[in-house]
Structure 1
Amino acid sequence: MLILGSLLPAEWFDGSASWLLMVVTLVCMLFVIKGADWLVEGAAGIAKKFGMPEVIIGATIVSLGTTTPEAAVSVLAAWNGNSGLALGNGVGSIIADTGLIFGIGCLMTRLPADRFVLSRQGWVQFGSGALLTVVCFVAYMVSGGEIDGARLGRGIGLLFVALLVVYLMVSVKWSKAHPHGEPRLVGHEAADVKATGFREGEEAGERERGVLALLLMGFAGLVMVVLSGDGLVGSVSELAVRFGVPEVVVASTLVAFGTSLPELIVGITAIRKGHAELLVGNIIGADILNVLFVIGVSACATPLVIGDAGAKLPWIFLQLHLPMMMLMLLLMRGYIFATKKTGRFERWMGVPMVVLYVVFVGLQYALS
């Protein structure tokens, strides 16, 4: 079986009958959808209770939850000697989050652009990616151009974790200075919200629940999304291999996509329920945390090899992954600049993002 990193034991999938895997796939789909419902309702309710913008809740609490599985998988991979997977997992998730998930969100509706948040957390998002890129290329040059000698040491990991703590503390401070978020637009936004199926009764239901109930709902939803999403990717990956799909295709599509499945499901559910701010915040926060949290904690566990010296293409991380990540982050910065007048990410903005993600997956397949 080909599962590069999973929270669930691989034996649960490769030892099961095909019909059972199909049943598991369907059950996991139901659970991941329901879990996302609970997570979004809980997060949106908490934001209203404490007077915090939903976009900041998405950039901190929700993002911490959806990136925790990636951190766990990366740390385990690093401990097991596959540190290249740990580093690639973080960068690959940023590419999927920014290109695929943000792109799909734009195609679904005109996403809100909170200027206060985008001029703060948005720059942290870009800065985190740029810092990682610089550190990786510097480590490569210091190693004398030997890919198997270039590593991110524990010192870099501690630096990233320290920056993570600072980011979370500053985010709390920013949320107090921006308690209610940007005023909602009317007109086009009303049509977009109506098209996503938002019901006013849902918002009223959130206000009726207590803080503890909302916290429990959000936590239960997070657990359901993480575990059922992991099971969904595992069962689909195993079925694809059994039905003759090349393993390289599974690795560069299903498995890579699976690490960002929680963000995707939560984002789509947030739009459907009328809380599109959560998607924007979750993408920004997840990109930041994939560098400072996922890669930072993994590097603290063991030095991370830049690229995989044992792979067929040891240079693919430096030549493809990091440049594609920075291209998407630069494109998003351009989008943020373009939202100054409208206060919205337009639908057309999703097209280049999704196209870039498809090109990225295609290049991995072609090069491999």
Structure 2
Amino acid sequence: MDKLIYSIFEQTNTLLLLFVIIGSLFTLSKGADLFVDEAVSLSIRWGIPKLIIGATIVSLGTTLPEASVGIIAALNGNSDLALGNAVGSTITNTSFILGLAAIVGTLPIDMKTISKQGSILFLCSILLVFISLPVFYNGITGMIYQHIGWLFLLLLLLYIQYLIKSAKKSNEFLSETLIEVEDSSLVIQLLKFFIGISIVILSSSLLIPAVEVGALRVGIPQSVVASTLVAFGTSLPELITAITAVRKNHGELAFGNIIGANILNILFVIGSAAAISHGGLLIPQIYYTVHYPTMLIVLFIIGYFAKNKRNKHKTLTKMEGLCLLSLYGVYLVLNYS
């Protein structure tokens, strides 16, 4: 089946191929939305507390597009796409989405979230960069080995356990302003649930060969396409959630969702992609010169903005949002220059 898809795309016009990529990103996002909504509905129907749903299913659901792309890419031996999508999504979430949300609305900074979740995110980022160093691979480039992937997944389980315990202590519940639970029959809910999964898998199966053929045709490295175009597309759930949240005066939810999604990009997306890849994920040189430095710089700047004592209202200002958007613009220029 994969060979047939590649054969068709190799004979497809470049403009049409671009439409396939954009269409696949759109359906991937919609499929993930459907999957999450129905997973929440089923969980509530079966009596699972909302705080557990919010801490697990919804958090994991927003990173489902990245995970599906990363896993299928890893199975096809395409580490550039798997790794680039996860790291690029983290940069996109932190710079572009938070920056845009701060400009279009009010984005409160929850110091509790920053001190706990933000610290976890920064530690995960440092861990990712550290294990990627070439010194562990005896070469000029690094490698994320299969056993490292399993380690990340173990850390993911510990992180989810931490989320559940934190939610119980603080009595946090899933906001019904962002997710509406339909009162429909069990059969319909199950049908929609599996349709959502099928759309995600099918969209990813079309997206990856389209990106590979398109990148090869125009001479752009797959790691660049994955960290920009694909990363932006798979971050659509976070983008939609953030904009919706700030417009409904729930900006603190947007901030928390972005931080949580970034942690899952590292532990869940990269972890699962590396765990199923026997050869591991090879790290191209551009990660040491562009991707990793940008990721760490953006996270440091967010931390600085959040803890800036002059920010009396504890919100991300429009000027700071513009700064984040500018950083994302510089990141795109560095990728394509």
For 1:290, the equivalent position in structure 2 comes to 265
What per-residue deviation string (whole Å, max 9, x for no partner) do you get for residues 270-290 of structure 1?
Answer: 523736555434422232122
For 1:93, the equivalent position in structure 2 comes to 89
**CA 1:34/1:86 → structure 2, altered by over 3 Å: closer, same or farther?**
closer
For 1:194, the equivalent position in structure 2 comes to none
Per the TM alignment, residue 128 of structure 1 is displaced from its structure 2 partner at its CA by: 0.4
Q: Aligned to 2:172, what secondary structure does the other structure show?
A: coil
1:48-63 alignment to 2 at 5 Å? Answer: 50-52=49-51, 56=55, 60-63=59-62
What per-residue deviation string (whole Å, max 9, x for no partner) do you get for residues 109-159 of structure 1?
Answer: 22343443333222211110011112223xx23555x315x4333332232
Q: Which moved more, 1:19-28 or 1:321-330?
A: 19-28
Alpha-carbon contact 1:94-1:287 (below 8 Å) kept: yes
Of 135, 146, 170, the residue aligned with 1:141 is 135
Q: Which moved more, 1:277-286 or 1:37-46?
A: 37-46
Of 309, 317, 325, the residue aligned with 2:287 is 317
What per-residue deviation string (whole Å, max 9, x for no partner) do you get for residues 298-330 of structure 1?
Answer: 33333436534xxxxxx3222222111111111
Q: Which moved more, 1:328-337 or 1:66-75?
A: 66-75
For 1:196, the equivalent position in structure 2 comes to none
Of 150, 153, 157, the residue aligned with 1:161 is 153
Of 112, 116, 119, the residue aligned with 2:115 is 119
Alpha-carbon contact 1:36-1:269 (below 8 Å) kept: no
Q: Which whole-Å CA distance do the structure 2 matches of 1:58 and 1:179 have between them?
A: 17
TM (norm. structure 2) is: 0.73
Q: Which moved more, 1:291-300 or 1:27-36?
A: 27-36
Q: Aligned to 2:51, what secondary structure does the other structure show?
A: coil
Give, as a single letter, the amino acid of the residue that structure 1 aligns with 2:180. Answer: E
Alpha-carbon contact 1:56-1:281 (below 8 Å) kept: no
1:224-263 alignment to 2 at 5 Å? Answer: 224=199, 228=203, 246-248=218-220, 252-253=224-225, 256-263=228-235
- In structure 2, runs of 5+ residues without a counterpart are none
1:284-363 alignment to 2 at 5 Å? Answer: 284-300=259-275, 301-304=277-280, 306-308=282-284, 315-338=285-308, 341-363=312-334
1:8-157 alignment to 2 at 5 Å? Answer: 9-16=5-12, 31=27, 38=34, 50-52=49-51, 56=55, 60-77=59-76, 80=77, 82-137=78-133, 140-143=134-137, 146-148=139-141, 150-157=142-149
For 1:192, the equivalent position in structure 2 comes to none
**CA 1:254/1:293 → structure 2, altered by over 3 Å: closer, same or farther?**
closer
Q: Aligned to 2:313, what secondary structure does the other structure show?
A: coil
For 1:280, the equivalent position in structure 2 comes to 255
Q: Which whole-Å CA distance do the structure 2 matches of 1:91 and 1:304 have between them?
A: 16
Q: Which whole-Å CA distance do the structure 1 matches of 2:254 and 2:35 have between them?
A: 12
Alpha-carbon contact 2:102-2:316 (below 8 Å) kept: yes
Q: Which whole-Å CA distance do the structure 2 matches of 1:237 and 1:356 have between them?
A: 27
Alpha-carbon contact 2:51-2:167 (below 8 Å) kept: yes
Alpha-carbon contact 2:21-2:207 (below 8 Å) kept: yes
Q: Aligned to 1:206, what secondary structure does the other structure show?
A: coil
Q: Which whole-Å CA distance do the structure 1 matches of 2:22 and 2:254 have between them?
A: 25
Alpha-carbon contact 1:263-1:282 (below 8 Å) kept: no
Give, as a single letter, the amino acid of the residue that structure 2 aligns with 1:318. Answer: Y
Per the TM alignment, residue 224 of structure 1 is displaced from its structure 2 partner at its CA by: 4.7
For 1:188, the equivalent position in structure 2 comes to none
Q: Which whole-Å CA distance do the structure 2 matches of 1:214 and 1:205 have between them?
A: 15
Q: Which whole-Å CA distance do the structure 2 matches of 1:264 and 1:365 have between them?
A: 22
Q: Which whole-Å CA distance do the structure 2 matches of 1:122 and 1:46 have between them?
A: 31
Give, as a single letter, the amino acid of the residue that structure 2 aligns with 1:166. Answer: L
Q: Which whole-Å CA distance do the structure 2 matches of 1:270 and 1:54 have between them?
A: 19
Alpha-carbon contact 1:67-1:290 (below 8 Å) kept: yes
Q: Which whole-Å CA distance do the structure 2 matches of 1:64 and 1:295 have between them?
A: 11
Alpha-carbon contact 1:229-1:262 (below 8 Å) kept: no
Q: Aligned to 1:180, what secondary structure does the other structure show?
A: coil
**CA 1:119/1:50 → structure 2, altered by over 3 Å: closer, same or farther?**
farther
Q: Which whole-Å CA distance do the structure 1 matches of 2:18 and 2:293 have between them?
A: 37
Q: Which whole-Å CA distance do the structure 1 matches of 2:111 and 2:185 have between them?
A: 28
Per the TM alignment, residue 56 of structure 1 is displaced from its structure 2 partner at its CA by: 4.6
Equivalenced residue count is: 326
**CA 1:98/1:171 → structure 2, altered by over 3 Å: closer, same or farther?**
same
Alpha-carbon contact 1:71-1:293 (below 8 Å) kept: no
Alpha-carbon contact 2:83-2:270 (below 8 Å) kept: yes
Taking every aligned residue pair, what percent have the same amino acid on both sides? 29
Do residues 209 (structure 1) and 183 (structure 2) align?
yes
Q: Which whole-Å CA distance do the structure 1 matches of 2:14 and 2:149 have between them?
A: 41
**CA 1:105/1:281 → structure 2, altered by over 3 Å: closer, same or farther?**
same
Q: Which moved more, 1:336-345 or 1:290-299?
A: 336-345
